[in-house]
Amino acid sequence: MRTSTSRSPATSRSGSGWSTHHGRSQLAATLDAYRPELAGTQAAHDAARFLLLHPPLSWVERPGYACLAAGAVALLPVWAKEMLRLPVLPVTERAVTLPAGALAVNTVRWALTDPRHPREDLRREWRRLNPV
């Protein structure tokens, strides 16, 4: 997918870009705002193929990356997946891909957490950002 050089919907609204407190509905709205600027060009297909199938990572790093990438693809709306010629697998995405992507994101979050930061503060912050 390609975009023009105009300001992104996320940065034009908040001035700070994307943050973790946005939910799926906000993500969908942001992607919908980009939709007129996106196209399923050969360059977009090549980029998706490269990032999803041939990332410049060692074989040791690829399983974790695969979970992150699969989770990201699962969050794309159907129209974006079709534009990139990616499979639409709602049952698999809900049962396997989204949980695996969440596990990968949480693992990265854990690995990047300052060990001096109290865990209860992290739990409280997690509950605030991810209400049930």
User: What is the domain count for the chain?
Assistant: 1
Residue 9 belongs to a domain? no
Residue 8: predicted pLDDT: 41
List pLDDT tens digits, range 10-52. 433 333 334 444 577 888 888 899 999 988 999 999 999 999 9
- Which residues form the domain of 49? 39-129
Task: Please return the burial class of 74, using the count of CB atoms within 10 Å of its CB with bins 0-12, 13-18 and 19+.
Answer: buried
Residue 44 belongs to a domain? yes
C-alpha to C-alpha distance for 11 and 5, rounded to whole angstroms? 13
Residue 13 belongs to a domain? no
pTM over 0.75: no
Residue 20 belongs to a domain? no
Residue 25 belongs to a domain? no
Residue 109 belongs to a domain? yes
